[in-house]
Each structure stands twice: as structure tokens, then as C-alpha cells.
Amino acid sequence: MSDVITLKAVRSTPAPEGVAVRTLKTEHQAVCQVLNVLDKAVLKLEETGEAPLAIFEDVLEFLTVFVDACHHTKEEEVLFPLMGRAGVPSRGGPIGVMLAEHQEGRELIARYRASLAALKGGDPSTQAALIEAARAYSALLRQHIQKENNVLFAIADRLFDSETQQEIFESFEEIEVTKLGAGTHERLHGKIEQMVEATAGWPGAEAGPGSAGCSCACH
Ligand SMILES: [Fe+2]
């Protein structure tokens, strides 16, 4: 399938949302909640000079395990290759852009992790680097989610019927077990609630679902 045909598919009447796409969009909502928590932690650090280390740690675990090891793996190992086989160009097209942004996110997370470790080790000079990496990651993921929700997933819904979406969903479930281990997904969802509660009332957009500060169009 050429780029032209792919774009036509997006512009024509939207296909019904399949279970695989719905699963990834629901995960995006969870990611957006955590990005709102992260934005609040950054503001807190900037305004008080004191880093809410526990929140930065919990956000880092979520971004590493839930977002990268699980969510991005579902896209990179299952959805994108199937879309490639269905004719969506995997280089230079929308999939190539998504893969490049996943990699950019990994590099920012590495900087976030290193800055946080140095800060915890008593080096306050790394505050600025942590703020910069966290802000860049949050901005990257928000626009990335918008593109996936509005462009790539619309293509997937046009390409895959409900039976195929069910098969994709089952592959996602296998990744949950192999990459995260049983119970980890639920534990991390519990962590989101704890983080939202812990940062309630902090300056910044409220972190809960549907919050006005979320610009990801993830709802
Ligand atoms: Fe995604």
C-alpha cells in the first residue's frame, strides 16, 4: 500500500474502533495521567528547589516498565510489523516516525535516570538536567500520543477487522505476562492512583483522568 492509499484510508469514514486499538488508547490515558504527575513534580522542584524524589522515582519506574517495556513493545513487536505487512511503509512513513520517537524517548529517560541518581547522591547541580529531560520527555510523549491516536491507530482500524484485532489483543496479553510478569500491570495502575493522590493540590494541572491540563487528546 502506498502512502497515498494510507492517507486516503485515514481521510475516509473512520472504521469502528477495534479491541487492540482501544487497549492502546486506554494505556495512553494512563500515560497522560502520569505525565501530568511528572509535570507537577518538575514545577515543584523549580519552585521550591527541593526534588520530590519519591514521585520522580515512581514516575521513572512507570515510564520504564509500563510505557517502554510493555506499551512500546506491543506496538513495536506486534502492531507495527503487522501494519508493515499490510502495506504501511515502515521506513520514512508514520511507523518510522513512531519508532524514531520511541528511541528519542529512551534517550531522554536515560538522561532522566542519570540526573535523578546524581541528585539522590547529593549533587544538586543535576537539578537543571533532570528538569530539562523530564520536560522534554513529557512534551515528546504528549505529541507522540496525539499522532498515534489520530493517525496511526485510524489506519490500523481501517486495516484490521475485528477478528484480527482480537488476535492482536491476545498477543498484547502475552506481552503483559512475558515482559511485566503477572500482577505488575495492576500494581502499576495502583501506583498511578497513589501518585495522583500524593500530588493533588500541587501547582500545575490536576493529574487525574480527563484533567484540563492534559493536551494529549487521549480521552
Ligand atoms: Fe503508544
**How remote is the CA of residue 145 from the centroid of ligand 1, in Å?**
6
Does residue 212 sit within a domain?
no
**How remote is the CA of residue 207 from the centroid of ligand 1, in Å?**
19
Does residue 5 sit within a domain?
no
Q: What is the pLDDT of residues 81-123, one digit of tens each?
A: 999 999 998 887 899 999 999 999 999 999 999 999 999 999 8
Does residue 216 sit within a domain?
no
Q: How many domains does the chain have?
A: 1
Does residue 75 sit within a domain?
yes
Residue identified by cell 520517537 is 101
- Residues near ion ligand 1 (CB < 5 Å) are 148
Distance CA 133, CA 137 (A): 6
pTM of the model: 0.88
Does residue 164 sit within a domain?
yes
| pLDDT at res. 182 | 80
**How remote is the CA of residue 74 from the centroid of ligand 1, in Å?**
9
Q: Which domain holds residue 77?
A: 16-105+142-198
Does residue 162 sit within a domain?
yes
**How remote is the CA of residue 146 from the centroid of ligand 1, in Å?**
9
Residue 146: pLDDT above 90?
Answer: yes
The stretches of the chain forming alpha helices (DSSP H) are 3-11, 19-48, 53-61, 73, 80-85, 94-120, 127-147, 153-159, 162-175, 184-198
Does residue 20 sit within a domain?
yes
Kindly state the average pLDDT of the residues 163-167.
97
Residue 1: pLDDT above 50?
Answer: no
**How remote is the CA of residue 75 from the centroid of ligand 1, in Å?**
7
| pLDDT at res. 46 | 94
CA–CA distances in Å: residue 34 to residues 3, 4, 43: 34, 36, 14
Distance CA 212, CA 210 (A): 6
**How remote is the CA of residue 93 from the centroid of ligand 1, in Å?**
16
**How remote is the CA of residue 87 from the centroid of ligand 1, in Å?**
20
